[in-house]
Amino acid sequence: MTQMIDITDSVMGAGAAEAKQANPAVEGLASQSDDTLRAMIAEASALLESRAQERRKHALAEIQRLARETGLDVSVKKPARKRGRPKKSKNGS
């Protein structure tokens, strides 16, 4: 006879079951339509990307400030194109 045992605490650590409780910010998502959820995901993705760009901008400014303080000139260049195999053209050639 097979016996089922809960190994959540031993594998995930004590308190893992409590950590799985629903986040109040997302409790009402199940009742939303697919289109509403897609729109919310798109808005959240755009917000995350905006925040990431802002962090990069501030980090670069801080690097340049620190470099100036030590008498160095720093510039960051974006690569001209991505490495790897070029994408196939739409016309198939």
* 32 contact partners, CB below 8 Å, separation of at least 6: 40
Which amino acid does the sequence have at 17?
Answer: A
CA distance 50 to 42: 12
CA distance 53 to 59: 10
- Does some domain include residue 57? yes
- Does some domain include residue 28? no
- Does some domain include residue 86? no
Domain that holds residue 66: 33-73
| pLDDT (0 to 100) of residue 28 | 84
pLDDT digits (tens, 9 = 90+) for 4-37: 555 555 555 555 555 567 677 778 888 889 999 9
- Does some domain include residue 19? no
pLDDT digits (tens, 9 = 90+) for 68-81: 999 998 888 877 77
Q: Based on the structure, what is the number of domains in the chain?
A: 1
26 phi and psi angles, rounded to 5 deg: -115, 5
